[in-house]
Structure 1
């Protein structure tokens, strides 16, 4: 979003302040050009920001998916070890009873 720059009004104010008309016109033209370039840079930065935010969101979703997959594998291991441990304890108890 750029702020409009009135180079004519700027040159007029410079001349009213005592600057020579030719210098005031050059100053106003140069300042207007600078504002346009800054506006273009601002637009480019916004585009880069949007792209970066999209990439960050994509990476975030990929990480959440990998975390969920890892959690599932971890739960399988824990349940498997719990079943194995229960089976071993049951086997030992049955062996002690007989």
Structure 2
């Protein structure tokens, strides 16, 4: 539980100087301190202050996300390069196959002529 730092001695002294008896002043300050601590605890519970996102947390998450994006980009570039190389191999292979077929057909036609 988080509590607010309050100088209770100084407050009791001020109340005594204002004419309030010491026991009554101490009881009032104790009640006020307890009320503030209760309100802080309620606020912490209601607003989940323990899991509050700070700029530092946000900056760390942004950096982590940027690193993941860079990793995905590099993997994507690698995959594109591999696909491009494979596509070039297929095009060359199909081209050679076409040349072979056309050459075979031309030689066959030349034999008949």
Q: TM-score range by the shorter chain?
A: 0.5 to 0.7
Higher RCO (CA 8 Å, separation ≥ 6 residues): 1
How far, CA to CA, are the matches of 1:24 and 1:34 in structure 2?
Answer: 18
Shift of 1:77: 0.6
Residues 25 and 74 of structure 1, relative CA distance in 2, 3 Å threshold? same
1:92 aligns with 108
Query: Structure 1, residues 45-83: CA drift from partner, whole Å, max 9, x if none?
Result: 323211111111001100111111111111111110111
How far, CA to CA, are the matches of 1:76 and 1:69 in structure 2?
Answer: 11
Structure 2 residue corresponding to 1:51, chosen from 63, 67, 89 = 67
2:79 aligns with 63
Q: CA RMSD in A?
A: 2.7
> Within 5 A, what are the aligned runs for 1:1-98?
20-27=35-42, 32-35=49-52, 38-39=53-54, 40-97=56-113
TM-score when scaled to structure 2? 0.55
How far, CA to CA, are the matches of 1:81 and 1:51 in structure 2?
Answer: 45
Please give the secondary structure, in 2, of the residue aligned with 1:20: helix
Query: Structure 1, residues 10-65: CA drift from partner, whole Å, max 9, x if none?
Result: xxxxxxxxx91222244567865542xx3254443323211111111001100111
TM-score when scaled to structure 1? 0.62
